[in-house]
Amino acid sequence: MGGSVATKLQSLTVNELITASSPSSAEPASASLPAPATASPAPGTAPAGVTHPKTIKSFVRRAGRTTTGQAKAFEDLGPRFIVPYTPAPLDPAAVFGRSAPLVLEIGFGMGEATAHIARVRPDDNFLCCEVHEPGVGALLKRIGEQDLTNIRIVQHDAVEVIDHMLPLGSLDGVHIFFPDPWHKTKHNKRRLIQAPLVAKLAARLKPGGYLHCATDWQPYAEQMLEVLGAEPILHNTATGFAAQPDYRPLTKFENRGLRLGHGVWDIVFLRSA
């Protein structure tokens, strides 16, 4: 599910800097002249010589075709169920047409698990972030087929949604299922579950609210456990990994992995009072 993740929503505040290399024809500085003092860059700005600072997003764009059914779901259901991104606090009661516990989902893939959870938890509202257009279309199609009313979709980078649309203490829960594990060590810094994002999410949870992550990549599961365990206002609901909550279904993707002998790890933390 969130294995698209698609969203594949990765780190928050980490800036990966693309430094312009010096031209090979540049003349060396004169040895008789003292080197000019280099001023320290202002916080949050690129150092001198870094011409193209690159902000890491919480997702990776993936190619994919929108089917006829998904396109029709966009046309018929998009106006009702897609919430435009605006850099202003969200009014959940206005958006959902009711007041109910609010759960944020970051990256929902093709929406199979999202639709299931919304169906078995009709008393909760689900705000779901995904940028992959076929995935958004697929979830809209499921919404129509299953007559779901408690899902809204923001087709935008989840980091900006968290920063600008979700006030502190506004969430009852957060779901991040199967985010991109970025298997290579040199790419681990691109993983979504890192301390800056976890701190943002923890601050937006109400006391007693939960953060539920799941992955089928054990090294990433261990990192998740370590990062969440280091957040001072969160505490683990289990000793180590949690049992799979009954609301999270086994998707086709997950079942295929289990048949191949792959494991799946759930991590559930609560915000302290």
Active site residues: 180
Residues sharing a CB contact under 8 Å with residue 98, sequence separation 6 or more, in sequence order: 125
Of residues 82, 80, 118, 86, the one with CA closest to residue 102: 118
Q: Give Cα separations from 249 to 175, 190, 196, 246, 255 (angstroms).
A: 13, 27, 29, 7, 10
**DSSP calls for 18-57:** EPPPPPTTPPPPPTTSPPPPPPPPPTTSPPTT--EEEEPP
Record the tokens describing residue 263, joined without a space.
Answer: 């494991």
> Hey, how many other C-beta atoms are within 10 angstroms of the C-beta on 188?
15
Residues sharing a CB contact under 8 Å with residue 255, sequence separation 6 or more, in sequence order: none
